[in-house]
Amino acid sequence: MAILSAENIVLNQQLGSKEEAIRATGQVLVDRGYVEPAYIEKMLEREQLTTTYMGNFVAIPHGTEEAKSAVKESGISIIQVPDGVSFDGNEVKLLIGIAGKGDEHLEILSQIAIVCSEEDNVLQIVNASSKEEILAMFDEVN
């Protein structure tokens, strides 16, 4: 996955709330130049419409349809939360923020789904001690 690089991965974070988790995930996308700061608010809006918790300790925060104008280029951020953060009672240990230009988010989501459909893979990512280990897991999908 070319749009994922080591700079987009944040290891061993402790996040106190779902909102804090979404903001942190979005901030990586902002800091790396994928999205305008306004995208973070659209990520929070999306979460109010429907949860981005996907099961297997994974949440995939992303913006609403209206947020597309705030996307400069497609990108992914990954935040590892070994102690977990609650998404409405569901424990999330892996946050994957996505921003897609046009329909690219669909391809990004399918690649994430392949990796994260196996709980063992998710736990391997959550327990990874290096960004390279995480990158390697996503590279296997391509």
Q: Which residues of the chain have pLDDT under 50?
A: 1
| Residues sharing a CB contact under 8 Å with residue 11, sequence separation 6 or more, in sequence order | 80, 128, 129, 130, 131
What angle separates helix 104-116 from helix 131-139, to the nearest 10 degrees? 110
The answer as to whether 1 is a domain residue is: no
pLDDT of residue 12: 97
- For residue 112, the domain's CATH number is 3.40.930.10
Q: Pairing between strand 9-10 and 90-99?
A: unpaired
Centre a 10 Å sphere on the Cβ of residue 110 and count the other Cβ atoms it contains.
Answer: 10
pLDDT at 106: 81
pLDDT of residue 80: 97
Q: What is the pLDDT of residue 1?
A: 44
121 inside domain: yes
Strand residues in the chain grouped as ranges (E): 9-10, 53-55, 58-59, 75-87, 90-99
Q: Which residues pair with 90 in a beta bridge?
A: 87
Q: Give me the residue label for tokens 């130049």.
A: 33
Query: Which residues, in sequence order, are CB contacts of 65 under 8 Å at separation 6+?
Result: none
Asked whether residue 131 is domain-assigned, the answer is yes
Say if 65 falls within a structural domain. Answer: yes
In a domain, 42, yes or no: yes
Report yes or no on 55 lying in a domain.
Answer: yes
* Domain extent at residue 26: 6-139
- 104 in a structural domain: yes
Domain tally, the chain: 1
Q: Which residues are catalytic?
A: 62
pLDDT in the model for residue 113: 87
Global pTM?
A: 0.93
Give a yes or no: residue 107 inside a domain: yes
Phi-psi region of 9 (alpha: psi -120 to 50; beta: other; left: phi over 0): beta
